[in-house]
Amino acid sequence: MGDVRGKGLLLGVGLVKDKVSKTPLESAAMASVTQYCMGKQVIIGLNTNTIPGFTNVLILCPPLVVTRKEADHLAETLYDAIFALPGS
């Protein structure tokens, strides 16, 4: 992870190859993370901004009525998706 930012329950999670250089993760790897999450019933958005360097942000926006169990499932699924990537 590069950085996590947000306001309330709207969160952006930037994924990078290297924390020091902050080189963005490739589109294929980003798609792999979102597909993994969807397979676990977790819908995560992906920033498709055309500005170079800003296409590596996952968008999380759970409902205001999210339960602790659902939030834990989201966090665990995202963790598993990221560490399922080659080289993680």
Q: Indicate whether 30 pLDDT > 90.
A: no
Average pLDDT along the chain: 86
Whether residue 57 contacts residue 26, with contact meaning beta carbons closer than 8 Å, is answered with: no
Neighbours of 23 (CB within 10 A): 13
Q: What does DSSP assign to residue 25?
A: P
Domain formed by 3-83, architecture: Alpha-Beta Complex (3.90)
pTM of the model: 0.80
Percent of the chain with pLDDT over 90: 33
Please state the separation of Cα 88 from the chain's center in Å: 14
Give me Rg for the CA atoms of the chain: 13
Distance CA 46, CA 10 (A): 13
> What does the domain layout of the chain look like in residue ranges?
3-83
Beta bridge partners of 57: 14
Distance CA 20, CA 53 (A): 15
pLDDT band for position 49 (cuts 50, 70, 90): low
The string of pLDDT tens digits covering residues 6-16 is: 898 898 888 88
Residue that the structure tokens 């397979």 belong to: 39
